[in-house]
Structure 1
């Protein structure tokens, strides 16, 4: 049976902070001198602090390295949503810092301006997870990510993920526990109190009955890694819902696959949007190899689903796929490579009950190593989206896959920014109605790393992914970054007397982020 997601909380509130898309509520009392005529509507205030967790700092000398990067969009290209560094009197000092979990006062890297990138290269073993904190005028729109490169062995490949903020609910679709597959969920608590978390698993047969994934306690300032093959050892296709019943956590899921001793794909699966009746999964890579859509229908009724593909020449419904029926709680896989015919694309999914999904793009051929990139159901951009770290240099290519299901063309500006904040190049791109555009990123010659800012014009919805491919001697390595608009405001709810205070539900998201 599907169980409703309910959290214990405090109803009377006057302060909130949006971090990782979740409103944080804290209790407060009204002083005797304050007016009894309180506002009746929540207000929106500029975000002045944010926290992001980079889940795993892998390093093996000569084999594996991890790099973390964090940045807020330069004020000149962020659509006017934020101010330059400095801030008004009384606001926190501007600082974007990288530190180890548990030692926030001793950063290993920091910057104090929006346009500058804070970077840290993990070059020692047993490095704790890294935490990025943003304060003051660099908090609105701040984003952080980690990129791990492994040159040999069963984990060979590129593995990239946004560093996620604390939240109460996360969805991951597309992992598995069949022979050769290994999924891990990373749960990190940066708050001062402990968190209690449930993992709800779904596979090809329906919801998985696994008590071992319930009631997990994550201590303050700690991380817990959960091996999914211990919770669902025979599941071929898996989806995971992370639900914080008390407190908040940051969550991430890494999936790796091997065939014998040969790597056939390693990457982080991005968090998907919660189940909905209409979703879009962008970022299906062009070229040869498997392109597999994975859908979960976690509700208690059968889902009737139809698919549309957004490709270079427009939108179409694949004739050989038809309408899908997904039984309650089940996960299904749908191959897309024959329908897309090597084109880049996106998937639009319409269902009569809520679903969510991801796509797996596999690169490589023959018996040699392969690598994989995952993309997940995403929200349309509502403002600038920042990719903090994109690599240039010999053998590397990067591209944006931009899609719109709209019936009108959508325009966007693409700006490449150097780590010191200099704007390297700006171009404009048009996405035709119902289509996908693959735009190759071309920084100035000799540029080794840069940030990317995608700023959509007002108009139809725009979805996207940045794809990074390294053409290594033994085969391609690939990773992807989901484009998402950074959070710029927090919701300050209104204090209301409530005799039921103490029993509540998860606070609604600010509509600007839907």
Structure 2
């Protein structure tokens, strides 16, 4: 045995003594070892970003924080939301200024029970949130705003989102009756540089001010889309890409006549998309789609109703030209029944993104919400800020039927958790009678967990009628990212013995 090998063995032995769990093996033993399958373990840290809720002086905003109870998450941790109050250097475009204020009081005390807080007026800033330890797995924060009058009046809601580097928003607009803002929030200690591309019916819109937008550290920038383009466009797709850093992004769509809501990002471009939870009393539904690549997409349009998949008369297919935004008005496509839109390729699969603009009510009593295409619930999805009345949970199984478990958490003030199971037939959408905590006082959270069968997609609608206006907002329920795959591994210091 040469001196180099002896030195390596001595070093390995010393390292094993320090780490306490390292295993020293011969090369032959290491070669015979086969790593086990990846295990899913609770995440230990979650970041969420909440956009500035409103610039209306009469806006009332409620925040609801909830973390499901997760096995193996430990007994320590914390969650907090802080105001994104860093001063801008003035480099942003079309910023709608607002004052700065202290963060709303939302102090989660324990997983399994919602924590709530509220604020009012135009001074509420965007929020940056971090959850660690037992509060991290599946941490969900809902921001719900009620605006009584004015542009975008109605009920506006959004799930606070994780930071990322790319977002697609089909369904935005720069029409004369719309004021759409893309909100960019930077959670990090260094500035983020962002590009915003707008695509209309004829392709990419020319703009000299949409590239290289700087978002300062721990700051949020609302950018008016009409300042980035020329002529008004009724249907737009917004593409946000981050050159450096990361941001949270959401589009606030405000209409002068038919209310407004938050437009969340569509799921990643895919050949097949599901847009779940169209209200059964929708009076107008518009589908907006975009094909990011160089190939046109031809889509089969079907509605998953309570009885099965049906094809809307006159809207059997949609042709989406590459690099262009396409839209089709589907009218009152649900005809008084729960429904979800399912888009599949007619021939070859071409990745697309899509969203629905949904209107309830008639005349001057109309209100708007948006439903983007979403990912299926893989392990568990969570929706916070539910009440005994006014919450509707829609679940669709576009292919094979499925069984799901739905749990209503404890109430924020009082109430005991309740769980029910439901069977969703293949090709259908069901507005399930979600459980309500016994003895409820306050709000509660809903979690949806697949038990068996095929993929399921879900959304939750909140509704509140004021002065005859059917205010509502819809949040899709992708997986809540409560767990992460961790391959089974074992320290092996035998590599130090190899020549």
CA distance in 1, matches of 2:176, 2:82: 37
**Residue 477 in 1 paired to residue 466 in 2?**
no
Q: Distance in 2 between matches of 1:428 and 1:59?
A: 41
Match of residue 255, structure 1, among 253, 256, 265: 253
3-state secondary structure, aligned to 2:134: helix
Which residue of 2 is the match for residue 18 of structure 1? none
**3-state SS in 2 of match to 1:229:** helix
DSSP-derived class of the 1:458 partner: strand
For the residue of structure 2 that corresponds to 1:165, the secondary structure is coil
CA contact (8 A) 1:183 1:228 kept: yes
* Pairwise CA distance, 1:317: 2.4
1:123 maps onto 2:133 in alignment: no
Out of 175, 179, 203, the position equivalent to 2:172 is 175
**Are the aligned partners of 2:282 and 2:332 in contact in 1 as well (CA < 8 Å)?**
no
Aligned-partner Cα distance in 1 for 2:356–2:252: 15
Asked if structure 1 preserves the Cα contact closer than 8 Å seen for 2:355 and 2:370, the reply is yes
* Root mean square deviation of aligned Cα: 3.0
Distance change (3 Å), C-alpha of 1:132 and 1:428 = same
Aligned equivalents of 1:195, 1:221: Cα separation in 2: 10
Q: Which runs of 5+ in 1 are unaligned?
A: 1-31, 76-81, 87-92, 494-514
- What corresponds to 1:99 in structure 2? 82
1:67 corresponds to 2:56: no
Please say if residues 306 and 350 of structure 1, whose CA atoms lie closer than 8 Å, have aligned partners that are also in contact: yes
Larger Rg: 2
Over 3 Å counting, the alpha-carbon distance change for 1:489 and 1:431 in structure 2 is closer
What is the SS of the residue equivalent to 2:351? strand
Structure 1 residue 379, shift from structure 2 partner:
0.6
Alignment of 1:218-297 (within 5 A): 218-232=215-229, 233-258=231-256, 263-297=257-291
Note if 1:331 corresponds to 2:325: yes
Structure 1 position 50 matched with structure 2 position 46:
yes
1:450-503 per-position Cα deviation (integer Å, ceiling 9, x unaligned): 21122221321111111111122232111112112211245789xxxxxxxxxx
TM norm structure 1: 0.79
1:147 pairs, out of 123, 144, 147, with 144
Contact 1:98–1:120 under 8 Å retained in 2? no
TM-superposed deviation, 1:157:
0.2
Q: CA deviation at 1:269?
A: 0.7
Aligned residue in 2 for 1:160: 157
- Are 1:373 and 2:369 an aligned pair? yes
Task: Give 1:424 shift.
Answer: 4.2
Q: Please, which runs of 5 or more residues in structure 2 have no aligned partner?
A: 1-13, 17-21, 87-101, 488-499
Distance 1:102 1:275 in 2: 33
Q: 1:411 to 1:424 in 2, by over 3 A?
A: closer
1:444-483 map, 5 Å: 447-483=441-477
Distance 1:159 1:398, change over 3 A: same
Label 1:268 to 1:242 Cα distance change in 2 as closer, same or farther (>3 A): same
Q: Check the 8 A contact 1:282/1:347 in 2, yes or no.
A: yes
SS at match of 2:209: helix
1:198 maps onto 2:195 in alignment: yes
Matches within 5 A, 1:389-428: 389-392=385-388, 396-419=389-412, 422-428=415-421
Change in CA separation of 1:266 and 1:440 when aligned onto 2, cut-off 3 Å: farther
* Offset, 1:414: 3.8
Q: How many residues matched?
A: 442
Contact 2:194 2:241 in 1 (8 A): yes
